[in-house]
Amino acid sequence: MRSDNGNHYRIPSSIQTYLLSGNQNDIPTIHNEHTGPSDGVVFIDSASSAEGVGNLAGNVTVPLNHLELGWGTEAAEQIHTWLQQ
């Protein structure tokens, strides 16, 4: 990734990074992103992009919307699995 001044930004390879994405654009009462696969707010391609990640330890998409990533069973189970590694 580049900043406006052209500098490169990366998550250092010394940090294990995990990416968790949702793929359900079904958040009630908001206009969900529908022009491509998304969690209702963020495109899956963006949320799961490893660009700028120095040490990608996990990259999973679960059947949840953007809000549910904070409490959904699938998200909690995936995070628990990563923490046990």
> Mean pLDDT across the chain, nearest whole number?
93
Residue 8 lies in a domain: no
Residue 5 lies in a domain: no
Residue 31 lies in a domain: yes
Using alpha carbons only, what angle is made at residue 13 by residues 19 and 65, rounded to the nearest 5 degrees? 5
The label of the residue with tokens 């010394």 reads 14
Region 58-69 average pLDDT: 98
Between CA 2 and CA 41 the distance in angstroms is 23
Q: What is the percent of the chain with per-residue pLDDT over 70, rounded to a whole number? A: 92
List the domain range (segments joined by +) for residue 75: 17-84
Q: Per-residue pLDDT for 3 more than 90?
A: no
**Number of domains the chain is built from:** 1
Residue 3 lies in a domain: no
Residue 9 lies in a domain: no
Q: What is the pLDDT of residue 4?
A: 59
- Which of the pair, 2 or 75, is modelled with greater confidence? 75
Residue 68 lies in a domain: yes
Residue 54 lies in a domain: yes
